[in-house]
Structure 1
């Protein structure tokens, strides 16, 4: 068999890449090792019949705001977004709570209850975000360096504010919160959102993630695909196949075939498939370079660098079927799709310190999703489909007994803020790091961000020091997974970047493009 391009993996990045190449008229085949497509964007009935659970990714602010996904017009292919009445609540240990609502006035009112000045300060930050929104998202998600978006930001901000914005990229979120706000409410919203990555409040670079997620919540909310996260995958698949692309599941790629330094196809258990123009790999960078390519095809410097790839923290996740909505004592979390709880701002620092020392946090930070609150189709009327996850150190031993003890611990925390919660549990599945990796091999040891979000592994350092582009040292082989720039999250950026690089390498100026890429890679990997 021969096609123009083989895409290895059918996660959102792989499906985005395949759609873009198919739009360009290429004959594209997507090969997926699992029985169904979707990667970390899938839905199933895990606990009790009638309760739909998102297996991995659940809330999708980046997908809603992504210019990459907007260009695919997935609404035409059945994708519908659904919102909870409010976006996010952070419940403090003393049961006070602060809220992000899509109505900025309601958010301002909530943070002002902790410090009167903070309402106006929150509005000012949101105005600042709206001022740069489109260029900022393009700069973050398009190929690096973001020339056009960068020029747009420079024109909008001017030199002084552009430097201040650059400072934000390097700051710890705890420091940013102290500079912007007086009260605990707004500060913990920023820091809690930063903890969606693996970056603690005092780590460089955490500010930009906390600020961006908070502002996206204010802007587009934390929406969910109606019917389950798998509906996003279904829309990408429907669009692809309608345009002539193909997906074959239960087809694990074991090797990228090369000849004269160029990718020419892939090998599966059945046979070899030739790719006349490109191979795009929506897999972890470590899997691509260490398992799927003959080592003698790669520079020793690259192999040394990839051996130092820095993963994000491991994760433990619980899915619940609940007989009623969670009976929160505070009013704010009853309306929110996403709930943070367990610790305050100082507690987030302690959690990060425990993780840094390789210890299970004594008082963990918990991220909880109320999916039926966000989308009524997820479970029978009057019930709730919910999940919770928390970060734990990498490399830990999590036998079933220990996972059950962890589940009992975190359920007791929820029960303190929602008395009677444990009595509502009709079904439960606890997934440890190894369980998550078995369900999706790209979630290595339960890492859900495809590698640390630390500044030492972003931009030109992701996945290794290099060009921060999808092109690899093997000509016509492109890294399309989230371990490439721009990193984790459901936004399609890495897949789109890989597809556009493949198109450039095969365009009218392809020979010049490939020559430049070869020269740059040789300079980087002497």
Structure 2
């Protein structure tokens, strides 16, 4: 019996699996592994020649210099119960740390450093204001009181009932209200409430600007607090041998369990019959039958508008997708240096990650340029010293280093604009590390368009699968009413960073999608589960 794609009949597909996973990014691979663990026959279809999405490494600057091409440094991945549960160490994944977690360099040359040793971090923050060392410890103690439950809330489907209740029992009413207030503060407000000096305030604010939020935006404080405190608790580690080791471990684990991956096989359509996802059609015209589920590790607009189509969607959902907000664009530069970065302030030499180019007001000015669609004349840089973190990235005594900065999200960039901005980035580096340019043995630039060409999910150079702003989080992600992996199409599940809890290499969207698919398939409870999902969607999309 055939089924319809946009109303057209066709012969039954030749290829079959219990689950078809669209995309071999890390979330797709996590979902595929969990379904394979449950005994499902899993087929992954990847549009590009490589697995991993934004979790890849390569030699792009000079011979012998390994670069993490997109993402790097993984506090969320290291802390993630999802990745931990997959036991990727048995498949070659090994973590390592730089001597220092991160350093924020101020324009005046001072440095605020976070180290996994709490006393070292406290001493750094104390230099900026008397008592800030103890205040840093108090902020960390506050984090430790809630971290286990907070991470469960972050990495489980919305609403996180069990972990949320555990957090409420621990904090009681007063503590819960204080935490709720902290979660909606901007990072400027949170930093100035917790600390007196610039150092600790900037440690939080620089972390918050790993997202697309400005220092003044509501909800930015929680990102700064989360990343800074994860750094204090776990560090910001990297895989020995590069980011690719995460992907390789996920691929090897899946193949060992009988899963299959076809590369250079882009999906052009999700095939729907009777309101159910029945499979997919690849761009080469082949049909792939999904007997139990289709899992999509692609951005939400691409899934709903391009692969499913409006026919199978509630009209209000299509209307709401017009207001889906991408996060900002990115330009990333990798350099091969024939020596170590010549920092003016040696405090930056041991940091895996360095934030530089702005104090707190400078971060606000930088964000204002992005908000008004203009190029920041003095960009804020997030920089990674890869050889400092993992000696295998380049020859002894050298450094494989990268930096990226945010840009406004635009449909098109001219090559001259990107090159001019790279020059601004290198000027910032020269301010803090005179002679940097003379040490460059090789360079690679990824413009927003080139990032998307390498990984189609990085639309316009956006790294997070959609903005981190509060209006597009929790039950509002990717749009109001779709806070879970379930979609209005039965047996179709969203597993990308566009789904709750969003960007970062932690695997939660993939795990949530796999769990939802497994629950939907259960003989006794699956129909009741879908009835509840349909009823919830009917309320939002009547």
Structure 2: distance between partners of 1:493 and 1:108: 32
Runs of 4+ with >6 A deviation: none
Structure 2: distance between partners of 1:519 and 1:458: 21
Matched, 1:514 2:527: no
> Which residue is equivalent to 1:53?
67
> Which residue is equivalent to 1:525?
541
Deviations 1:384-434 (A, max 9, x none): 111100001111753223222212221121111111111110001111111
TM-score (norm 2): 0.96
Residue in structure 1 matching 2:370, options 355, 371, 378: 355
Residue in structure 2 matching 1:235, options 243, 249, 254: 249
Deviations 1:69-116 (A, max 9, x none): 111111111100111010000011011111000101000000000001
Structure 2: distance between partners of 1:298 and 1:151: 34
Structure 2: distance between partners of 1:452 and 1:127: 29
Structure 2: distance between partners of 1:317 and 1:281: 27
Give me the CA root mean square deviation. 0.9
Partner SS state of residue 349, structure 2: helix
Partner SS state of residue 79, structure 1: coil
Q: What runs of 5+ residues in structure 1 fail to find an aligned partner?
A: none
Deviations 1:255-304 (A, max 9, x none): 00010000000001141010010000000000001100132111110111
Please report how far the alpha carbon of residue 157 of structure 1 lies from its aligned counterpart in structure 2 after TM superposition: 1.1
> Which residue is equivalent to 1:293?
308
Structure 2: distance between partners of 1:159 and 1:276: 47
Partner SS state of residue 196, structure 2: coil
> Which residue is equivalent to 2:425?
410
Residue in structure 2 matching 1:311, options 320, 326, 339: 326
Structure 1: distance between partners of 2:464 and 2:16: 33
Residue in structure 1 matching 2:361, options 343, 346, 369: 346
Please report how far the alpha carbon of residue 47 of structure 1 lies from its aligned counterpart in structure 2 after TM superposition: 1.2
Please report how far the alpha carbon of residue 488 of structure 1 lies from its aligned counterpart in structure 2 after TM superposition: 0.3
Please report how far the alpha carbon of residue 312 of structure 1 lies from its aligned counterpart in structure 2 after TM superposition: 0.6
> Which residue is equivalent to 2:8?
none
> Which residue is equivalent to 2:39?
25
Structure 1: distance between partners of 2:177 and 2:131: 26
Partner SS state of residue 402, structure 2: strand
Please report how far the alpha carbon of residue 451 of structure 1 lies from its aligned counterpart in structure 2 after TM superposition: 0.5
Structure 2: distance between partners of 1:364 and 1:217: 24
Matched, 1:175 2:186: no
Residue in structure 1 matching 2:81, options 67, 81, 86: 67
Partner SS state of residue 136, structure 2: helix
Matched, 1:143 2:157: yes
- After TM superposition, list the pairs within 5 Å mapping 1:98-497 onto structure 2: 98-268=112-282, 269-395=284-410, 397-497=412-512
Deviations 1:199-242 (A, max 9, x none): 01100000000000000111111111111101000001111111
Q: What runs of 5+ residues in structure 2 fail to find an aligned partner?
A: 1-14
CA contact (8 A) 2:377 2:424 kept: no
TM-score (norm 1): 0.99
